[in-house]
Amino acid sequence: MEYPISKNTILIHLGGLGDICLSESTIHSLSHHFRGGIDALGNRRFLILFDSYFNKIYSIDSQRWLPLFKEEEKALEYERFIFIGKDREGRFIERLKGLSRMPPIFIDMFPGPTDKRIHVEDYQLSQLGLYSIEPKKIDIKTKKAERVILYPEVTIKKRKWPKERFLDLYISLESKGIPVLILCQYGMKIPVEQKIHIDELTEIRDFFSEGGVFVSNDSGIAHLAGLCGLKTVTIFIDSDPLIWHPRGVNYPITGDINSIRVEDVEERILEALSIA
């Protein structure tokens, strides 16, 4: 199979939804620097939310991209690669050097244990100067906050504040006359009347355009809500909110699963609702 040589720069981002949301300012800065001449490679379902920054978006699932990870007779060649991610041993960057005409640009995705504790967005933007690229941080305009959206999750890897607590929170807010609804994960059954199921991320983004206060565990959807201008009340069990909080206006809550009370979360929600 012949692999074409492209004159474009291709940005590789293999992170999840939250990771890409946190990288938006970095992507914006790179797109501006290269005057829009960037293609993107990664999870297409996530990257499509940011399609205005790219000429084309490619799915990492395609066999076309095997040369990035495996030696083959016919190698893929681009003008330049940009990689936003983690490459602790430097092997991936070395591989990219052999597949591009220009030296690759590597933006370390998030600070490590020995790095300064700063937010992911600021950490990434601080690295652009190494490549003479001007950082352009996006200013998020906060939308009106007249409704509360709760987003319980099914626990997979990270420890999460449980669904049952979200149900108790829903009942408490409703009893106070506060407009509240639950955004349900795919397949999740919630015994409440005010709930909504949305599977497509572009439709969730449209739903967020109406504003509100978004309450959830630390999750990719929380980061999407934040960049859409919602105030976010985010529960952090295992991660550092200083590094990982959603962009925009965020009210973090930290603690152990059993130590975080419904009253604690409700207090932060009322605080978010009371501030214009």
pLDDT, tens only, 81-118: 999 999 999 999 999 998 888 999 999 999 999 999 99
CA atoms of 57 and 15, how far apart (whole Å): 15
Return the DSSP state at 11: E
Amino acid identity, residue 102?
M
Q: Could you report the per-residue pLDDT of 26-84, keeping only the tens digit for each?
A: 999 999 999 888 999 999 999 999 999 999 999 999 988 988 888 765 567 788 999 99
Domain 148-274: CATH class, spelled out: alpha beta
Where are the domain boundaries for CATH 3.40.50.2000 in the chain?
Answer: 148-274
At residue 7 the predicted structure's pLDDT band, cuts being 50, 70 and 90, is low
Burial 148-166 (b: 16+ CB within 10 A, else e): bbbbbbeeeeeebbbbebb
pTM of the model: 0.93
DSSP-based three-state secondary structure for 180: strand
Mean pLDDT of 247-257: 95
Report the range out of 1-15, 134-148, 155-169 with the highest average pLDDT: 134-148
CA atoms of 202 and 204, how far apart (whole Å): 5
Pick the CATH number of 5-131 from 3.90.640, 3.40.50, 2.60.40, 3.20.20: 3.40.50
The answer to whether residue 236 scores a pLDDT higher than 70 is yes
